[in-house]
Amino acid sequence: MVETSHKYPKVDKNEETKLFWDSAKEGKFMVRRCPACNEIHWYPRSLCPLCHKAETVWEEHSGEGEIYTWTVMRKSPTGPFGLGYVKLDGGPFVYVRFRDGLVDDLEIGKRTKMVFDKISDDDVYLFADLA
């Protein structure tokens, strides 16, 4: 479990996100692929944002990518932390919080991996770590 006094927002689990969060508890990073245009997209949704077909399917992704851009949130009661866009291998961008302690190591182009840390007995939360 993440050792922090920070209160993370309650994970929103609905019919469309349930499989993602259930898989996340097993450490699997899931995305959706559209069979019509063969692209993956983020965030996962049944309607393809690229060609608007409504038949996307779940697929496990390595969670690996590279930092496209980043910033540091310094005015935080729990200490500075990084935020940024990671370009996943295969295309889509993920706006994500970096794991604590990485603010001095963030750099455009560095390899990253999506990870899930336990934040409560019931929930995990998505972070990016350096690969």
Provide the binding-site residues for Zn ion, judged by CB under 5 A: 34, 36-37, 48, 50-51
Nearer to Zn ion, 34 or 102 (CB): 34
> Closest approach of Cβ 32 to Zn ion, in Å?
10
Nearer to Zn ion, 48 or 94 (CB): 48
Nearer to Zn ion, 82 or 92 (CB): 92
Nearer to Zn ion, 56 or 112 (CB): 56
Distance of CA 64 to the CA centre of its chain: 10
> Closest approach of Cβ 50 to Zn ion, in Å?
5
> Closest approach of Cβ 21 to Zn ion, in Å?
23
83 with 97: CB under 8 angstroms?
Answer: yes
Give the integer Cα–Cα distance in Å for 83 and 106. Answer: 10
> Closest approach of Cβ 90 to Zn ion, in Å?
13
**Terminal-residue alpha carbon distance, the chain:** 20
Tokens read off for 91: 């295309």
| Number of other CB atoms surrounding residue 106 within 10 Å | 19
| Number of other CB atoms surrounding residue 70 within 10 Å | 20
